[in-house]
């Protein structure tokens, strides 16, 4: 047997039990690190940076290429290298599987890969983009949704000096809703700087920044007087008891972000929060994100779709699910200057979903 024949034979072996027959298609799997350039230095209570690395996964089968993206989350000990390693660890599975069995494939990926949900999201999005293209159907239609129900997205203002915060607020003139990052001793100054420029409704993300429950109550009740609609993750993820106490003392809805890492977290969060922020990078893709949204709704919780700093691949994928949720914070692609793709657009804040098949992406 020549080396080439041996290679072909290995490729056709039933490696996984998924699509594992002698006629198994051999799909091309590519991974790529993408360095996104931020328009402004992006600061939250967790980190500060001018670039962000995300990971693309491309799956080509039957002449059609699906593309997916994941933004590794430092808080969950992920980076681009660990995300790529996670995808590479299931390369043979992806190469030999029948991509039409995307649900079965993702179940197997979840079984084999611990954590690394950004890597899983890149795989899931690539599979769903592939399936949508094969079906010649945009993903929102595949999910049975009405694109007119897509919500207005917030535009995020990172933590900065009052002067730069004012400048960023002015630059965000076309967006009717702003999401403001807080969680430091300068929170009041930040909000006052924004309020000196605009009366728009604000949503606030504390990113676990307040460690004291009395301080959280005091700040939330002050934010209520400042035209804030809800507060995301006021206290550290593990402080569920304290957050429950805070919730009993305030009127503004509380949304869980960092506290919500797994579908199984959602029922216990329902006792301390009014809603959850679902991100494809946290859930591990579209299929699991939809499941989170359904679980939260079944518990009477509000739902939000958020994102990390990402290109239009990941943000457009999330946007296809956005007609399902109450709130959208899908601006990750608007914060960067070198987006490789065009997909979802934003008009006066409203998400405009593309009608092309799959994600409906075009090269920028
Ligand atoms: Mg958040």
How far is the C-alpha of 348 from the C-alpha of 151, rounded, in Å? 11
Q: Decide: 263 and 299 in contact? Cβ < 8 Å.
A: no
Bridge-based pairing state of the strands 254-256 and 228-232: parallel
Residue 40 has what pLDDT? 82
Reduce the DSSP state of residue 350 to 3 states and report it.
strand
pLDDT the model gives residue 49: 82
**String of b and e for 210-241 (b: at least 16 CB within 10 Å)?**
beebebbbebbeebeeeebbbbbbbbbbebbe
Question: Measured in angstroms, how far is the CA atom of residue 124 from the centroid of ligand 1?
Answer: 22
Please state the rounded mean pLDDT for residues 80-100.
97
184 CA to centre of ligand 1 in angstroms: 15
Q: Give Cα 105 to chain centroid, integer Å.
A: 21
pLDDT tens track for 347-359: 999 999 999 999 9
What are 51-66's pLDDT values in tens digits?
A: 999 999 999 999 999 9
CA distances from 167 to 163, 195, 205, 284 (A): 6, 12, 19, 35
Ligand 1 midpoint to CA 248 (Å): 21
Which uninterrupted H or E stretch holds 61?
strand 48-61
Structural domains of the chain sorted by starting position, each given as residue range(s) with its CATH number in brackets: 28-136 (3.30.390.10), 141-363 (3.20.20.120)
The helix (run of H) or strand (run of E) holding residue 304 is strand 302-306
For residue 307, report the distance from its CA to the centre of ligand 1, in Å.
9
Tokens of 16: 């996984």
294-330 burial, b at 16+ Cβ within 10 Å, e below that, comes to: ebbeeeebbbbbbbbbbbbbbbbbbbbbbbbbbbbbb
Q: Are strands 341-342 and 362-363 parallel, antiparallel or unpaired?
A: antiparallel
CA distance linking residue 351 with residue 332, whole number of Å: 13
Sequence-distant contacts of 87-94: CB under 8 A, at least 24 apart: 87/29, 87/31, 87/55, 87/57, 87/119, 87/122, 87/123, 88/31, 89/113, 90/123, 91/29, 92/15, 92/16, 93/15, 93/16, 93/18, 94/27, 94/29, 94/59, 94/123
Average pLDDT over residues 178-200: 96
**8 A C-beta contact, residue 305 and residue 328:** yes
212 CA distance to ligand 1 centroid (A)? 19
pLDDT of residue 24: 58
The pLDDT, as a whole number, for residue 22 is 42
How confident is the model over 208-263, as pLDDT tens digits? 999 999 999 999 999 999 999 999 999 999 999 999 999 999 999 999 999 999 99
Nearest 5°: phi and psi at 9? -65, -45
For the segment 94-105, what is each residue's pLDDT rounded down to a tens digit? Answer: 999 999 999 999
- Is the pLDDT at 16 greater than 50, yes or no? no
> What distance in angstroms lies between residue 48's CA and the mean position of ligand 1's atoms?
15
Separation of alpha carbons 72 and 118, rounded Å: 5
**Per-residue confidence (pLDDT) for residue 43, from 0 to 100:** 75
Measured in Å, residue 236 CA sits from the centre of ligand 1 at 12
Ligand 1 centroid–CA 339 distance in Å is 22
pLDDT band at residue 18, thresholds of 50, 70 and 90?
low
Q: Which pLDDT belongs to residue 258? A: 97
Yes or no: say if 121 and 283 are a contact pair by the CB < 8 Å rule: yes
Residue 215 C-alpha to ligand 1 middle, in angstroms? Answer: 19
How much is the pLDDT for 15? 43
pLDDT band at 48 (very low <50, low <70, confident <90, very high): confident
From residue 55, give the alpha-carbon distance in Å to each of 147, 284, 361: 27, 13, 17
Residue 111 alpha carbon to ligand 1 centre in Å:
27
Q: Which residues surround ligand 1, an ion (CB under 5 A)?
A: 205, 232, 257
Q: In this structure, what are the phi and psi dihedrals at residue 35, rounded to the nearest 5 degrees?
A: -95, 110
- Whole-number Å distance, alpha carbon 231 to ligand 1 midpoint, is 9
Q: For residue 25, what pLDDT is reported?
A: 59
pLDDT of residue 11: 43
**Bridge partners of 277?**
304
Strands 155-157 and 178-181 turn out to be: parallel
Q: What is the rounded CA–CA span in Å between residue 255 and residue 204? A: 10
Measured CA distances, 91 to 59, 119, 158, 190 (Å): 10, 12, 37, 46
Determine the pLDDT at residue 41. Answer: 81
CA 306 to ligand 1 centroid distance, Å: 7
Cα 282 to ligand 1 centre (Å): 11
């Amino acid at each position: 047997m020549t080396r080439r024949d041996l290679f072909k034979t290995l490729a056709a072996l039933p490696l996984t039990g998924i699509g594992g027959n002698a006629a198994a298609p051999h799909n091309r799997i590519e991974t790529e690190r993408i360095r996104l350039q931020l328009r402004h230095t992006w600061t939250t209570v967790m980190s500060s940076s001018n670039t962000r690395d995300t990971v693309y996964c491309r799956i080509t089968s039957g002449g059609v290429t699906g593309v997916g993206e994941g933004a590794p989350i430092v808080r969950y000990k992920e980076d681009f290298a660990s995300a790529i390693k996670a995808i590479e660890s299931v390369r043979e599975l992806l190469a030999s599987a029948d991509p039409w069995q995307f649900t079965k494939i993702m179940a197997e990926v979840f079984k084999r890969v611990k954590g690394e949900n950004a890597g899983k999201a890149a795989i899931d999005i690539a599979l769903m983009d592939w399936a949508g293209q094969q079906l010649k159907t945009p993903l929102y239609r595949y999910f049975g949704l009405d694109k007119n129900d897509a919500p207005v997205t917030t535009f995020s203002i990172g933590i900065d000096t009052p002067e730069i915060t004012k400048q960023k607020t002015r630059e965000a003139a076309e967006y009717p809703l702003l999401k403001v990052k807080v969680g430091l001793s300068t929170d009041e100054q930040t909000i006052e700087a924004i309020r000196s420029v605009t009366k728009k409704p604000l949503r606030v993300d504390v990113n676990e920044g307040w460690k004291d429950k009395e301080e959280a109550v005091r700040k939330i009740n002050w934010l209520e007087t400042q035209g804030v609609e809800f507060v995301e993750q006021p206290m550290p993820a593990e402080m569920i008891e304290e957050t429950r106490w805070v919730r009993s003392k305030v009127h503004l809805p509380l949304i869980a972000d960092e506290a919500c890492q797994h579908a199984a977290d959602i029922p216990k969060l329902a006792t301390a929060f009014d809603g959850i922020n679902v991100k494809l990078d946290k859930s591990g893709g579209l299929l699991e994100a939809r499941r989170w949204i359904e679980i939260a709704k079944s518990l009477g919780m509000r739902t939000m779709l958020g994102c990390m700093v990402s290109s239009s691949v990941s943000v457009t994928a999330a946007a296809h699910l956005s007609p399902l949720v109450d709130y959208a914070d899908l601006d990750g692609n608007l914060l960067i200057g070198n987006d490789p793709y065009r997909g979802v657009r934003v008009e006066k804040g409203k998400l405009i979903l593309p009608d092309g098949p799959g994600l409906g992406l075009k090269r920028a």
